[in-house]
Chain A
Amino acid sequence: GNSVTQMEGPVTLSEEAFLTINCTYTATGYPSLFWYVQYPGEGLQLLLKATKADDKGSNKGFEATYRKETTSFHLEKGSVQVSDSAVYFCALTGSQGNLIFGKGTKLSVKP
């Protein structure tokens, strides 16, 4: 079945550093891919999405490109802020229309 593997954290960066969180997937068919963010004590918020190969999702300075040839959807941001500190989840659609999540990567940004 479909599955997601994302880099383990925690990731600690200084403010204005470059961020990459790796995500690779295994899937049959052509799933949609997502990044969700979870701030402390809250639910999940959709950060960005891509529905087909070579699509680039972007939001709030974050970007990720749907790479079918490498089965990847890495999350990047050029300059992180303290307010970006959160847990980031890579996800894809499963065969039942559900979401399949990675284990999450905790990001801490220090001033």
Chain B
Amino acid sequence: ETGVTQSPTHLIKTRGQQVTLRCSSQSGHNTVSWYQQALGQGPQFIFQYYREEENGRGNFPPRFSGLQFPNYSSELNVNALELDDSALYLCASSFQGDKGNGYTFGSGTRLTVV
């Protein structure tokens, strides 16, 4: 089975720009979550998508938005980038209703905002 793949692996953007990060979920998984991991910190939950709708959100402003597609892949969009948005962005997939099995994470996208 294929794992979770994210693209791009690294990205440099300028403050105020917009960015789109992409994620393909693991085969058989129907839920995608996004996490932000600042340097030296644990990942923080951004939001989660199931059946193409957001069904959970952490403490992140509306300029963080997302999509889930019929094939369960997902995008994370961030508008009006700020320097503090520099972080590793992790995508995780799971099967709704089977949270006890945990989540499969991708290798992440390292975003640097200058």
**Closest residue on chain A to residue B46 by CB atoms:** A98
Across chains A and B, the number of contacting residue pairs, with CB separation under 8 Å, is 66
Q: Which residues of A contact B (CB under 8 A)?
A: 32, 34, 36, 42-46, 49, 51, 89, 91, 93-94, 96-104
Is A43 a contact partner of B48 (Cβ separation < 8 A)? no
B12 smallest CB distance to A (angstroms):
17
Is A49 a contact partner of B90 (Cβ separation < 8 A)? no
A88 smallest CB distance to B (angstroms):
11
Known: A32-B102, A104-B41. A98 touches B58 (CB 8 A): yes
Cα-based distance from A43 to B5 in the complex (angstroms): 11
Among B44, B56, B104, the residue within 8 A (CB) of A97 is B56
Is B102 a contact partner of A97 (Cβ separation < 8 A)? no
Cα-based distance from A49 to B100 in the complex (angstroms): 8
Residues of B within 8 A of A34 (CB): 102
Is A44 a contact partner of B105 (Cβ separation < 8 A)? yes
Known: A44-B105, A46-B102, A49-B102. A97 touches B43 (CB 8 A): no
Is B45 a contact partner of A89 (Cβ separation < 8 A)? no
1/0 contact string of B1-20 vs chain A (CB within 8 Å): 00010100000000000000
Residues of A within 8 A of B35 (CB): 99
Beyond known contacts A42-B107, A45-B105: 7 more, CB 8 A cutoff = A43-B107, A44-B92, A49-B100, A49-B102, A97-B56, A99-B45, A99-B92
